[in-house]
């Protein structure tokens, strides 16, 4: 017999409300934009593709806007936000540090370096998968190097993690800067996309490419929820409980890099989502990763969908880069978190 606990009820409640909010935000994103559409026309456009509505009742323009532009953009944004938030929560559990984030520890910059290198160097060995694979390789290399240099349990703390992350991010940014310098004019247009982050180029092919990677990474990290809770006790205690710590670390590194690489490959550099979302969710549902990971995924998806809708609505027909929204939200929050950690430590 399973006994319902207050933590479980709280986690389930927050997850349900976050899911409802995400559903509302996604539906609203179909209608809101430089061209505003009544909700009924949006539903009719969706109904046409599902074979439930007569195609003659919906204009070709509205059908194209809803089905070819806004739906794939919202779906891609939801997957990108969920991927970054889950990766952030997993990295924080791996490092045992609430300040860990794909951007702060250099993973986002590593993924961007891989993608930019593929663009400028003209790599195409794997066809359409070259860019995602390059981003994944960059993310994996960055997170592995960060972990090796700032490994928890070896006397390193928050300062070491931040310094190592800043150094790796700075090195990746320097290489990206050099590649930008030698890039052609056509390549420069693509590089602006990576540096600021955007979903403006989202289409169904992107959604189809990201979906299997997202599903694999999400399922893998959700299955690592209990090992993450065991790692929170310390590596030695986790080993005493029967956890293969080395193998678990490798899985966390690989699947976190997989999610970040996929997100950066198709949306560019979007920072602070993996820092802000897991920390806020942790305040709501507690530190247990059984609820922290799925709620962070839904909340991250909600944040990106709302931010992207605002990015293409506030200054039509221009679009504000999505990365600016995340930085404007995340930078003040990060400073607050650092000061909070400093106050707790009494330094």
What is the C-alpha separation between 52 and 9, in angstroms, rounded? 38
Judged against a pLDDT cut of 50, whether residue 3 lies above it is answered with no
Q: What is the pLDDT of residues 305-339, one digit of tens each?
A: 998 998 888 877 778 888 887 777 777 877 777 67
Helix axis angle, 322-345 to 185-196, nearest 10°: 40
**93 neighbors 291 (Cβ within 8 angstroms):** no
At 133-165, the pLDDT tens digits run 888 888 888 888 887 887 655 555 556 777 888
Which pTM value belongs to this model?
Answer: 0.86
Instruction: Read off φ and ψ for residue 196, nearest 5 degrees.
Output: -105, -20
DSSP class per residue in 153-184: TTT--HHHHHHHHHHHHHHHHHHHHHHHHH--
CA atoms of 281 and 15, how far apart (whole Å): 10
Q: Would you say the C-alpha torsion 68, 72, 74, 76 has a positive or negative sign?
A: negative
Average pLDDT on 106-118 reads: 87
> H or E segment at 227?
helix 225-231
Considering the chain, what is the average pLDDT of its residues? 83
pLDDT, tens digit, 9 for 90 and up, residues 41-53: 888 888 887 777 7
Give the pLDDT band (50/70/90) at residue 75: very high
């Amino acid at each position: 017999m399973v006994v319902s606990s207050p933590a479980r009820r709280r986690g389930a409640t927050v997850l349900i409300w976050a899911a409802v909010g995400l559903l509302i935000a996604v539906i609203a994103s179909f209608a809101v934009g430089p061209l505003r559409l009544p909700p009924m026309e949006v539903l009719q456009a969706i109904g046409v593709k599902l074979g439930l509505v007569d195609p003659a009742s919906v204009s070709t323009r509205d059908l194209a806007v809803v089905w070819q532009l806004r739906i794939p953009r919202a779906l891609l944004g939801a997957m990108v936000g969920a991927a970054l938030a889950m990766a952030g929560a997993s990295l924080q559990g791996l490092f045992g540090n609430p300040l860990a984030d794909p951007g702060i520890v250099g993973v986002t910059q590593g993924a961007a370096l891989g993608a930019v290198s593929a663009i400028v160097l003209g790599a195409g060995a794997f066809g359409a998968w070259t860019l995602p694979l390059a981003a994944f390789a960059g993310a994996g290399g960055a997170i592995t190097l960060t972990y090796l240099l700032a490994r928890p349990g070896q006397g390193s703390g928050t300062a070491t993690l931040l310094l190592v992350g800043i150094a790796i991010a700075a090195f990746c940014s320097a290489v990206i800067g050099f590649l930008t310098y030698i890039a052609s004019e056509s390549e420069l247009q693509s590089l602006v996309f990576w540096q600021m982050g955007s979903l403006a180029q989202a289409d169904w092919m992107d959604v189809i490419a990201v979906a299997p990677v997202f599903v694999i990474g999400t399922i893998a990290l959700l299955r690592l929820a209990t090992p993450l809770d065991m790692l929170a006790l310390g590596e030695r205690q986790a080993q005493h409980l029967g956890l293969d710590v080395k193998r678990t670390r490798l899985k966390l590194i690989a699947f976190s890099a997989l999610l970040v690489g996929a997100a950066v490959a198709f949306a560019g550099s979007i920072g602070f989502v993996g820092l802000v979302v897991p920390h806020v969710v942790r305040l709501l549902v507690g530190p247990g990763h059984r609820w922290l990971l799925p709620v962070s995924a839904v909340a991250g998806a909600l944040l990106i969908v709302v931010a992207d809708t605002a990015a293409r609505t506030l200054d039509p027909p221009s679009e504000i880069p999505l990365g600016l929204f995340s930085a404007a939200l995340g930078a003040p929050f990060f400073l607050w978190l650092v000061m909070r950690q400093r106050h707790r430590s009494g330094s």
